Amino acid sequence: MNITLIGASGFVGTRLLGLLAKAPQQYNLRNIDKQQSHFFPEITEIGDVRDVELLKSKLINSDVVILLAAEHRDDVSPTSLYYDVNVGGIKNVLTAMEANKVKRIVFTSSVAVYGLNKENPNETHLTDPFNHYGKSKWQAEEVLQQWHQSHPDWNINILRPTVIFGERNRGNVYNLLKQISSGKFLMVGKGENKKSMAYVGNIVAFIKFLIDNKKDGYNVYNYVDKPDFTMNELIGHIGNVLDKHIPSTHFPYWLGMLGGKCFDLLAWVTRKKLPISSVRVKKFCATTQFDAIKAHSSGFTPPYSLAEGLANTLTFEFVNPPKDDITFKSE
């Protein structure tokens, strides 16, 4: 199977390439990315998802496309980049696929399409994105919906993962784990809000499952590793893995948001990107619990439990840290 991955030089893509590369007789891999891959330079070609003519030349003889490329950070500027890359990119990919008679795509969207504080939404829940990232991902899905209406013989698989964590990732979950493990963690709110998470080892295994097993129709899947932890439970698990007591001080939500607004102002004055913002405080205190029954009843068995994924990450990052400095930034 000739698989073309677009945007696989990053965190999820690197792990996915590593998994698929274990079966060289089954998969012939190509990665197109605007950044060179640290671990798979031999199969990576430089290209931008905004360049439709380049995509047409790169998708020759492809059997399936895995689209991972996206603008996803909270602080992308100008905000038009979200739509140029996430929406314009999917349009360009579909055009290039059609030119090369490629009819299978796996697209990574996000649970951000649901918005904040929704009550355990499943794939049929109304969408209500609150930021440009979520809005652009939903618009990209709408492009795919319209495309499938006029191309019913195509196989379109859409994956909506929750926040993804794992070894070498430098995003909000890593920052949270680092703060908690350091003992300098400040809890905003009561800590009873549940946080859906997904370990990268399970995400890439599910993408492989979609490649191998979901070859027909239009399919949408949330992906979450269950059971969901509350923030208090997460702190307890981290303490158990690291074998240390993790003290926590609870601050009321209003005070946390006030602090976040102060950091927003400081970031605006200094023109610097700071690790704390009102958006991140809001996301931290939100309930981010999602229904993933469809994915977990599809025949897929996650290779890791959520607790195992957290233990793997904590051990890799804080117990036996790597000697190299290769990391991947995300939210």
**Residue 68 sits in a domain of what CATH number?**
3.40.50.720
Q: pLDDT value at position 72?
A: 83
Torsion of CA 104, 110, 115, 121, to 10 degrees: 70
Query: According to the model, what pLDDT value does residue 37 have?
Result: 97
In a domain, 214, yes or no: yes
pLDDT at 121: 96
Structural domain count of the chain: 1
pLDDT, tens digit (0-9, with 9 covering 90-100), for 92-136: 999 999 999 999 999 999 999 999 878 899 999 999 999 999 999
For the CA atoms of 72, 210, 7, 76, the dihedral, rounded to the nearest 10 degrees, stands at -10
Please give the residue range of the domain that contains residue 102.
Answer: 2-166+196-226+290-298
The chain-wide mean pLDDT, for the chain, equals: 93
- Is residue 86 situated within a structural domain? yes
Does residue 184 lie in a domain region? no
What pLDDT score was predicted for residue 331?
65
For the cut 70, the answer to whether the pLDDT of residue 152 exceeds it is yes
| Helix ranges (DSSP H) in 38-118 | 52-58, 80-86, 88-99
Residues that are catalytic: 133
Residue 155 to residue 277: CA distance in whole angstroms: 40
316 falls within a domain = no
Residue type, 181: S
Q: Is 202 inside a domain boundary? A: yes
**Residue 6 domain-assigned?**
yes
Residue 100 lies in a domain: yes
Q: Is residue 13 part of a domain?
A: yes
